[in-house]
Amino acid sequence: MENVKKTIGSFSFDHVGIAVSSIEESLVFYKAMGLKNIHFEEVPSEKVKVAMLELENSSKLELLEPIDNSGPIQKFLDKKGPGIHHICLRVGDIHSVIENLKSANIKLINDEPKKGAHNMLVAFVHPKSTGGVLLEISQPQ
């Protein structure tokens, strides 16, 4: 790919983000299935409560519940209802990935990495540039 200016290093699958109206109600299903390793936090910048369901291979399911009516997850629920919201790839060097995307004129939602759930640096790529998938890229801080 001629647009890629830097070697990025590793990519791995990190998680699927799922919009839910109630984490508590959603967890009835996941707990019934036997999932136990669950980590809770709030991400005030995104106006969401998060439940991370940790899987054996270090990938996760991320349940996202709106804290109030003005955040992006509430907007998603209003428009589309509960369901898959985004997928997330873990990258070795998020700054270089963003730089490469910008130089390829890819539409980003975040021009700079910001602090996301799980103490990760994250940025979102616009679905218009990815074939309809909201893509999160993340890197451990």
In the complex, the residues that contact Zn ion under the rule CB under 5 A are 17, 62, 88, 136
Q: Which residue is nearest to Zn ion (CB)?
A: 17
Which residue's CB is nearer to Zn ion, number 4 or number 13?
A: 13
Q: How far is the CB of 86 from Zn ion (least distance, A)?
A: 6
Q: How far is the CB of 111 from Zn ion (least distance, A)?
A: 18
Which residue's CB is nearer to Zn ion, number 4 or number 140?
A: 140
Q: How far is the CB of 101 from Zn ion (least distance, A)?
A: 17
C-alpha dist (Å) from residue 77 to 69, 81, 88: 10, 4, 19
Helices (H), the chain: 23-33, 72-80, 94-103
Region at 132 (left for phi over 0; alpha for psi -120 to 50; beta for the rest): left
Which residue's CB is nearer to Zn ion, number 101 or number 135?
A: 135
Q: How far apart (Å, rounded) are the C-alpha atoms in residues 68 and 129?
A: 28
Which residue's CB is nearer to Zn ion, number 88 or number 91?
A: 88
